[in-house]
Amino acid sequence: MLRRFMNESSAAVDEMIAGMVGAFGSFYEKHPQTNSVLYKNRRKNKVALVTGGGSGHEPLFVGFVGHGLADAAVCGNLYNAPNPESIYKTAKAVESGKGVLFVYGTYPGDKMNFDSAEEWLRKEGIAARHIRVHDDIISAPKNKKQERRGIAGDVFMLRIIGAACDAGMDIDKIVDLAEQVNENMWSIALSLTRNNREYLKQNKLSYFDNADYIEYGVGLHGERGVLQTRMQPVDQLVDKMYSQILDEAGLKKGDSLSVLVNGLGMTSLMELAIVFRRLKSLMDGDGFRLYDADIQTYCASHEARGFSITILKMEEAWKALYSAEPYSPYYSHKIAASQTQSQASIKPIPPKSVPEKPVHWEPVREPIGQDGELNVLPLRDMMIYVAQKLIAAEQMLSEIDGVIGDGDHGICIANGMRTARQRLMMLTEANMPWEVYHIIGRSMFLFAGGASGSYFGGMFLAASEAIKEKRRITVEDFTNMWRASLDMILKQGGAKPGEKTLVDSLTPAVQALAGHPVREFPAAIRAAEMAAQDGAQKTRTMQARYGRGKYVANRGMGNQDPGATTIWLIFRSMREYLTAPEE
C-alpha cells in the first residue's frame, strides 16, 4: 500500500483548502458555501477572472489566485470538474459589474459545467464569457484545435489575461487577446508514471505497464500518451518534443519566446533544469530570442513522474501585460534577467539535422546477394539508395498524408533520411551491419519530427538490435530484422492490421520474407515488395481507426495510407538497388 499524509480521501480537497486559507489568511478567503478560494484584495469595477478545475494539479488552480492573476478558483474533486452551482456562486461572489471571464482547460466535464454556470449568469444579465486553454498539441490534430487538452498553458494565460483584467480592459477585448494567446502557445508532456483517477479511494498509485518505457504525450489526468517508447537520455526526449512543437508552431528565426518547463509532481528541480538546458541550446541554435523562462512545478498530475514543455510566442502588444509582475503565495515570477543570451554561455548545439550538401551517389550494383549473405558495405550502399528514393518521394508522401493527416509525413521522412544519408556515408568496412540500421533509426527518431519520426525511428532501431552480433547477414537474419520491427510497431504503437496504418503494408512484407522458399536476397526482397505494395493498396478501402486519420472518419476512404506507402517504397527501393531499376 502506498502511504500518504492525509486523512479520509473524501475530505482531502476540503482540508487542502482549509490549510491554504489558514496559512495565507490575509491573502485568501474561502467561499462560505463552495470549495472555492477568493482573492481578498481583488480590484473592483473590472472584469472578474475565475479559473478552476479538478484538484490534483496544485498549485494550479488555487495558487494562481492573486494580484494580476485570477480573482477566484473553483476546486472540484480529484481530476473531476467542479459542479455548475459552485462555479456560478463563485463567479457571483467576485463579479462587480463588468462581467465574468472563465479560464479553464479543455476537458469534457469542465466544458459542460462551466457552460452551465455561464448560461445562468447570462440569464441574470451578467456578461459571461470563457476561454478554454488548448495548448496540448498531441491530443488532437491542427484542424481540431478546439478539442485539444490544456497542459501548463494556463500559467501563461492567467498571467497575461489576469493583467489585462486588472488593467481595466473590457471583456470583449480581453477575450480577443486570450484567443490570440491560445493560438500562439504549444505544449507536450511525457511521464514515467500515471495516477488512477480513483486512486484516492484505492489508496494506491497506478504505474504504466513497463518501467523501461515512457508515455509520450500524456494528459494531466493520468491518460496514456499517444506513444509508448523506451526510456532514453533526456536530451533525446527534449529533441523530439522541441521538434514536434516547431513542426506545429511554424516559428521563424528571431521570434521572441517565453518557455516553461513544468514538473508533473514528482520530478526534481535538477531534472527540470537539465531539460531546460537542452531546450535553451536548441533555441539558440535555431536563432530564437528567449524573452522569459521558468522552471518549476505549476501544473501537476498529482504524483506523476514527468514533465511538460510549453512555448509561447510573444507578441509586442502582450509584453507590457506579461511583465506586470503578478503575485500570489504560490506564483511570483519576474521576467528572466537574460532575455537574449544565457549568462551561463550555453554553447548552441549543431542544427537539428546534418546540413544538406550536394550529393551525387552512384551505387555500384555488383552481383551481390547471390551467395545468400551481405556485409556492411552493400547494406550501407543499399540503404543510401533507399534514403535517396524516399527524399525524392517527399512531395508525393505529403500529398497523400494531407487527405487524412496534417500533410507533413513526406517532410518528416525526408528530413530524417537526409541526415541518415550523410551519416551512412561515413561507414567503412570496419563497421558492423547493425550500425547501418542504427544510424537510420536515430536519424529518424531525432530529426524527422512528428509521429513518423517515432514510428520509423523505432522500427529501424528494433531492426538493428536483431542483428547486433552479425558481421554478415543472411535472408533469415534480414527476415528477423523486419519481424523485430513489426513486433515493435505492434507493441508500442498499438495499431492492428486493417486500421489503415503502416502495419497493413509491413505485416504482409514480413510474411512474404518468412515464407519465401528461395534464400537469395533479390528474390526474397522482390516477394516482400509485392506483398507490401498489395498491402498499401488495400488501405484505400479501409477506414482509419488509429492515429490522426481517425478524426476524419470516411474522408480517407479511397486514399492510400502514407505510412504503408512508405514501407512499400522502402522494399521497392531495396529491390531496385539489388536488381537495377526496371524501366
* Helix 409-424 × helix 376-392 angle, to 10°: 150
Query: What type of residue is 343?
Result: Q
- State the CB neighbour count (10 A cutoff) for residue 96: 14
The three-class DSSP label of residue 241 is helix
Angle in degrees, CA 469, 471, 472, rounded to 5? 120
3-state secondary structure 424-487: HCCCCCCCCHHHHHHHHHHHHHHHCCHHHHHHHHHHHHHHHHHCCCCCCEEHHHHHHHHHHHHH
Integer Cα distance of 490 and 79 in angstroms = 31
57 included as an active-site residue? yes
In the set 31, 130, 134, 221, the catalytic residue is 221
Rounded to the nearest 10°, the torsion over CA 329, 49, 106, 255 is -80
C-alpha cell at 32: 462560505
For residue 215, what are the β-bridge partners? Answer: 191, 228
Per-residue CA distances from 39 to 66, 77, 448 (Å): 6, 21, 47
Cβ-in-10-Å burial (0-12, 13-18, 19+) of 185 comes to: buried
31 included as an active-site residue? no
C-alpha cell at 75: 476546486
Q: Active-site residue numbers?
A: 57, 221
